Amino acid sequence: MASMTALAGAQIGFSRDEDRWTAVVERDAGADDIFYYSVATTGVYCRPSCAARLALRKNVAFHNTRGDAEQAGFRPCKRCRPNAAAT
């Protein structure tokens, strides 16, 4: 999808899973609202900057939107509140 590539592409550079994982490891707040990540073992999804303990890479999946994560069956994290309205 060309439009999606343009949206998430050049400027931010979180289009690849590797880059997203790096952002999660570094708790990069600059990645917030660009993507979300879910943890299979806990069943929750988080903002990249969430202060929760880092999950194992193999248990983590990435989502472009909150709806995507919720449709995949994940609940919003109570700590970083990814479902709270963006300001």
Q: Just list the catalytic residues.
A: 46
* Stretch binding Zn ion (CB under 5 A), from 8-16, 18-26, 31-39, 79-87: 79-87
The DSSP-derived string for 15-82 is -SHHHHHHHHHTT-GGGTTT-EEEETTTTEEE-TT--SPPPPGGGEEEESSHHHHHHTTPEEPTTT-T
Size of the site for Zn ion (CB under 5 A): 6
Would you call 14 helix, strand, or coil by DSSP? Answer: coil
C-alpha 64/C-alpha 71 separation (Å) is: 12
User: Among 50, 55, 60, 69, which residue sits at the site for Zn ion (rule: CB under 5 A)?
Assistant: 50
User: Among 8, 12, 40, 52, which residue sits at the site for Zn ion (rule: CB under 5 A)?
Assistant: 52
User: Among 39, 46, 60, 69, which residue sits at the site for Zn ion (rule: CB under 5 A)?
Assistant: 46
Binding site for Zn ion (CB under 5 A): 46, 50, 52, 77, 79-80
